[in-house]
Every structure is written in C-alpha cells, then in structure tokens.
C-alpha cells in the first residue's frame, strides 16, 4: 500500500526500480534464450547497383521466442547493451554468421558479410582478439567481413574504441559507417579513420521521392562520400524508382525490401545460389 504524503521523487525511484527489474528479467530471458538456442541470424541481400547482382549480405539478429514468436532486435538490443549481455549476443552472431558464410560460399555464393556492432560491445583489446579468433576458427578470410558501426563511434571521446577499430582494420576487417547522415559526423574524422564504406540511412532514401530538396540531400551525401573515396550503400530501397535514382546518383550498392527482406540461410541460398549444373 502506498504511504500517504509520498513525494514525486519516491514515484520516480519506484519507476526506476521497476525499470531495473524489467531489464534484469529481459537480461535473464536473453541468457536463457541463448542457452536454449532460440536466437537466429537472418541475412539481407546487398546488390551491386549497376548489375543488380548479389555482392554481400547483412547479418541481422532474430529471436525465435517460444511465446512471442519472431522478435526483432529493436525489442531487446537496447536493453542488452545496457546490461552487457550484448557481448554474448554479439559473439553468437559473429560465430553463426561466419559459419553460414562458409555454407554460402560452398553453395557458390561469392559474397561478403556485414555484421552490426555497437560501441558498447567493445572496450578492450581482449574482445577484439576474441573476435579475430572466432573469425579465424570459422575458416572465413578476415577481409570478407565488414563491421557496421554507427556514426557516434567516431566521436572524439571514443579514443579507446578508435584504437581497437584501427587494430581490427589492420588485421583485415573492413569498416562501414551505418545510418550515415543521421547523427554526428565529422568529415575531418571520417577522413582520418580507416572506413571504406558508408551506408545512407533509409530515412533519406524513403524521403527522396517527396521533393527535389530531399533528392539533393541524398546527392550531397553521395558526393561527400565520393570525395572521401568511400563506397556508398543505400539502405531501405523499396521501389524500382528509388533503385534507379540511387544508381544514377552514384551509389555502388543497394539494400532494401525491393531486393529482399532479411531471410534465413536456406532461403538465401535457394533464391540467390547459382542453379546447380545438371
Ligand atoms: P540497421 O543496421 O540499420 O539494419 C537495417 C534495418 O532496416 C533492419 O531492421 C532491416 O530489416 C531494415 N530494413 C532493411 N531494408 C528495409 C526496407 O526496405 N524498408 C524498411 N522499412 N526496413 C528495411 P532490423 O533487422 O529490425 O534491425 C534493426 C536494427 O537492430 C539494425 O539496424 C541494427 O542497428 C540492430 N541490429 C540488428 N542485428 C544486430 C546485431 O547482430 N548486433 C547489433 N549490435 N545490432 C543489431
Ligand atoms: Ca546495419
Ligand atoms: Ca542501417
Ligand atoms: Ca539502424
């Protein structure tokens, strides 16, 4: 029962505690889910803009929850980042997707693999060494991989992460800036950083048809990337018009529902694997 005269600060503490409790519950659920093999990695096609052929896939995490069905990362990754269980999830995604890349290669797909990483997933040299170990154990060549990191990682106060990313890149792993144009982005910094690719956020792509201004904005982002000698991937491509416009603007790669939604390994191989010669 609530005591009379309780101040708002108590309510605030209450809700903070409730939040902490619900985070802890989800944290434990995730650990249980990992142990029960409920997590899966789906793959979304990335095509070459000129030929429209598959050149890469992006690994996207899914939770096959026994009661809630297929759950997308937006529902659990933010909490996983806060409780730290994101590291275990990240290791799972890396291990599983490297194995799957080997299966894709065996099925005749000569493609690259992109994996998402938030800066909360790495702080120390050991983590990065562990990732390299996971990659090497799978038999996948390090230069087949691209780590997608968000712009905020480039902020000047992330010196430690910068060192680790440089190290990873020196070891062969490619780096891409995800959701480009969404947030902080220092051109000077981008120039100094060993990034080879930027991904234009789907918000820009989807607003492109609305006005000449929006289109000019995407054009400016592409021009800037080109001036920095970076490859450009456009995300969220849903229509032929968008695909053709983006190709015309000089994007090298395209990704979006128009080319395929994130799908399980078997479906990817069935749809994109070269037909077996008979
Ligand atoms: P993201 O890295 O920007 O991934 C692209 C998201 O856009 C995916 O959502 C994808 O399904 C969605 N998408 C792709 N094409 C289209 C399109 O044409 N239209 C629309 N409306 N959506 C499209 P998803 O799979 O729900 O992932 C959401 C976010 O969760 C990702 O955004 C990424 O930031 C994060 N995430 C996913 N997997 C991982 C992971 O393994 N580790 C980490 N740290 N983050 C992950
Ligand atoms: Ca991404
Ligand atoms: Ca993105
Ligand atoms: Ca995103």
Model confidence at 77, pLDDT cuts 50, 70, 90, reads: very high
Contact 179, 89 (CB under 8 A): no
Burial pattern 149-164, b for ≥16 Cβ within 10 A else e, equals: bbbebbbeeeeebbeb
116 lines ligand 1 (CB under 6 A): yes
Decide if the complex's ipTM is over 0.95: yes
CA of 78 to the centre of ligand 1 (A): 13
- The residue whose CA is least distant from atom 15 of ligand 1 is 256
Ligand 1 contact via 78 beta carbon (within 6 Å): no
Over residues 3-52, the pLDDT tens digits come to: 444 555 566 677 888 888 999 999 999 999 999 999 999 999 999 999 99
Listed residue (90, 91, 57, 98) closest to 73, CA to CA: 90
The C-alpha atoms of residue 161 and residue 175 are separated, in whole angstroms, by: 13
Three-state SS at 198: strand
Enter the pTM of the model: 0.93
Q: How far is the CA of 235 from the centre of ligand 2 (A)?
A: 9
Distance of alpha carbon 234 from the chain centroid: 13
pLDDT of residue 184: 62
Continuous H helices in 148-239: 159-170, 187-192, 202-207, 212-227
Other beta carbons less than 10 A from residue 95's beta carbon? 16
Tell me what the mean pLDDT of segment 239-257 comes to.
Answer: 97
């Amino acid at each position: 029962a609530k005591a009379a005269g309780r101040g708002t600060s108590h309510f605030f503490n209450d809700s903070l505690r409730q939040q902490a409790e619900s985070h802890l519950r989800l944290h434990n659920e995730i650990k249980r889910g990992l142990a029960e093999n409920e997590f899966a990695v789906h793959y979304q096609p990335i095509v070459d803009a000129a030929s429209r052929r598959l050149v890469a896939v992006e690994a996207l995490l899914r939770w096959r929850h026994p009661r809630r069905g297929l759950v997308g990362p937006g529902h659990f990754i933010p909490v996983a980042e806060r409780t730290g269980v994101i590291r275990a999830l990240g290791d799972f995604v890396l291990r599983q997707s490297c194995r799957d890349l080997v299966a894709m290669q065996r099925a005749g797909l000569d493609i690259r693999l992109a994996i998402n990483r938030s800066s909360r997933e790495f702080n120390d040299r050991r983590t990065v060494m562990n990732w390299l170990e996971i990659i090497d154990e799978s038999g996948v060549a390090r230069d087949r991989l691209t780590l997608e990191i968000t712009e905020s990682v480039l902020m000047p106060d992330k010196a430690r992460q910068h060192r680790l990313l440089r190290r990873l890149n020196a070891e062969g792993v490619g780096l891409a800036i995800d959701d480009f144009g969404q947030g902080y982005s220092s051109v000077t910094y981008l120039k100094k950083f060993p990034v080879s690719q930027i991904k234009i956020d789907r918000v820009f792509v989807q607003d492109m048809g609305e006005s000449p201004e929006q289109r000019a904005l995407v054009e400016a982002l592409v021009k800037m990337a080109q001036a920095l000698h970076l490859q450009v991937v456009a995300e969220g491509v849903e229509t032929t018009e968008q695909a053709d416009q983006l190709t015309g603007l000089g994007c090298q790669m395209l990704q979006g529902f128009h080319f395929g939604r994130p799908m399980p390994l078997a479906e990817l191989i069935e749809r994109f694997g070269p037909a077996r010669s008979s």
